[in-house]
């Protein structure tokens, strides 16, 4: 599988989780219930961003450069997202956790859309199908301990 298809498939699941958490948010009436809602989502999204950065962004660096280009923007947004997860985890009260959550939703959606509409298209242009599928295999291998697949 091409790494871009694997990452797109993960985005599809994250969109579902985002919608689910967003809908539940107004009814969550304690700080710990909000923090609890975000814990698994944050863990999975950070793993997604980490793999994306390590495998796809690193492979695109020779073509797109590191400073000031789309990779710098994507990495900045990954940091912004992780920073908001940390703020939700350590929020002092319910209202501030809710505010951080409301800031997070559009940032994640816009980030995904930029990857889907711009970055993954660049990957298809600058990397060969072979490279994309080798990266896809690395991606699946790195997931093995987490999802229990038994890959060769």
Distances in Å between the alpha carbon of 95 and those of 23, 28, 54, 82?
A: 16, 11, 35, 19
Q: Find out whether 13 and 48 touch, Cβ atoms under 8 Å.
A: no
- Residue placing its CB nearer to Fe ion in the complex, 71 or 115: 115
- Residue placing its CB nearer to Fe ion in the complex, 51 or 91: 51
DSSP code at position 65: -
CA dist., res. 29 & res. 48, Å (int): 29
- Residue placing its CB nearer to Fe ion in the complex, 18 or 97: 18
| In the complex, minimum distance from the CB of residue 23 to Fe ion, in angstroms, rounded to a whole number | 22
| In the complex, minimum distance from the CB of residue 109 to Fe ion, in angstroms, rounded to a whole number | 11
| In the complex, minimum distance from the CB of residue 132 to Fe ion, in angstroms, rounded to a whole number | 15
The CB-side HSE value for 22 (13 A sphere, CA atoms) comes to 13
Which residues are near Fe ion by CB under 5 A? 49, 52, 115
Closest CA to 21 of 86, 100, 112, 111: 100
Cα end-to-end span (Å), the chain: 15
- Residue placing its CB nearer to Fe ion in the complex, 91 or 123: 123
DSSP code at position 151: -
| In the complex, minimum distance from the CB of residue 79 to Fe ion, in angstroms, rounded to a whole number | 11
- Residue placing its CB nearer to Fe ion in the complex, 34 or 52: 52
| In the complex, minimum distance from the CB of residue 37 to Fe ion, in angstroms, rounded to a whole number | 21
């Amino acid at each position: 599988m091409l790494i871009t298809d694997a990452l797109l498939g993960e985005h599809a699941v994250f969109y579902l989780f985002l919608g689910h958490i967003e809908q539940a948010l107004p009814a969550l009436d304690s700080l710990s219930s909000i923090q609890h809602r975000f814990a698994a989502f944050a863990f999975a999204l950070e793993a997604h961003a980490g793999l994306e950065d390590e495998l796809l962004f690193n492979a695109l660096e020779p073509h797109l450069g590191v400073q000031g280009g789309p990779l710098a923007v994507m990495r900045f947004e990954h940091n912004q997202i992780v920073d908001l997860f940390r703020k939700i985890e350590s929020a002092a009260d319910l209202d501030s956790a809710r505010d951080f959550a409301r800031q997070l939703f559009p940032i994640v959606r816009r980030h995904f859309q930029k990857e889907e509409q711009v970055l993954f298209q660049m990957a298809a242009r600058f990397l060969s199908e072979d490279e994309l599928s080798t990266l896809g295999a690395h991606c699946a291998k790195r997931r093995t301990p987490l999802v229990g697949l038994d890959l060769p």
